[in-house]
Amino acid sequence: MKEEMSIEEARAIGKQYAAQGIHPEDVVLGGLPKPPAKAKTKAALTKLTKKSSEAAEATPEPLSDVEPKAEALAQDAQQEYMLKLQAYEQARSEWANGRMSAAELEAHYAIMRRAKDIYISERAIAARGIPRVSQLPRLERDLEQHKLERDDVRKELRDAKREEQALKQENATSRDLKVAAVAADALKILNDPGDFRSIPAIMEKLRQAENHVQTAERRYREERGRQGN
């Protein structure tokens, strides 16, 4: 009995397994097994064909091919989410301009997030094939964070300019020389580009914050485009 098969024998067995759709990585390490009998080969091919058919049937259907009720619910949820998102963006603008309190803005945000969660849930049910690994949630969180940071800097700049006007008025009208001197020193700080508390420094920080928002928005749009959203 041979301990090792010849190259010709190995090639012959390899061809037989290849004809059955069996790949080299499927073969147990330590040598090729003996080729199966013809009857077993036919049964194996039938089993492989059945598995392939089942896999094809399990392929997720596109959104337009699923049950109309599930699709309609997903579309309704999407429209509701877009409305709430628009309302939140408007509220953010109102807050940034000092016409809305932080508590009111948080309420709008909570409403928008609930609508979004419902939309994502309904879409997952309808599509039955949303990729498990998606960069969109992370990119959206990054975008949201950058927008909040930008709004904080806008408020900081608005407060600094308001303080500047108050100091100018104090410096011009105060009868107390010490008070006027303090106001003058504070005005120097507010207009010193080298001081992180100054208006020029805050404006530069706002410019960087705007750039971060634009970059995050671009990445988010690109990812949505790749996923066909």
Are residue 126 and residue 149 in the same domain, yes or no?
no
Q: Is residue 2 part of a domain?
A: no
Q: Is residue 184 part of a domain?
A: yes
Query: Which tens digits make up the pLDDT trace of 129-139?
Result: 544 457 788 88
Closest CA to 66 of 160, 129, 11, 22: 129
Are residue 229 and residue 136 in the same domain, yes or no?
yes
CA atoms within 13 A on the CB side of 61: 11
Whole-number pLDDT of residue 224: 84
Are residue 29 and residue 85 in the same domain, yes or no?
no
**pTM value > 0.85:** no
The pLDDT confidence band at residue 72, using thresholds 50, 70 and 90, is: confident
Whole-number pLDDT of residue 197: 85
Q: Is residue 41 part of a domain?
A: yes
Q: Which of 100, 130, 160 is the last residue of a domain?
A: 130
Domain with 19, as residue range(s), is 7-57
The pLDDT confidence band at residue 200, using thresholds 50, 70 and 90, is: very high
Q: Using alpha carbons only, how large is the chain's radius of gyration in Å?
A: 33
Q: What percentage of residues in the chain have a pLDDT greater than 70? A: 66
Query: CATH number of the domain that 74 lies in?
Result: 1.10.287
Dist. CA 116–CA 180, nearest whole Å:
53
Query: Which tens digits make up the pLDDT trace of 74-104?
Result: 788 888 888 888 888 888 888 888 888 888 8
Q: Is residue 1 part of a domain?
A: no
Could you tell me where the DSSP H helices lie in 97-198?
A: 102-127, 136-173, 177-190
Give the count of domains, the chain: 3
Dist. CA 36–CA 13, nearest whole Å:
10
Q: Is residue 98 part of a domain?
A: yes
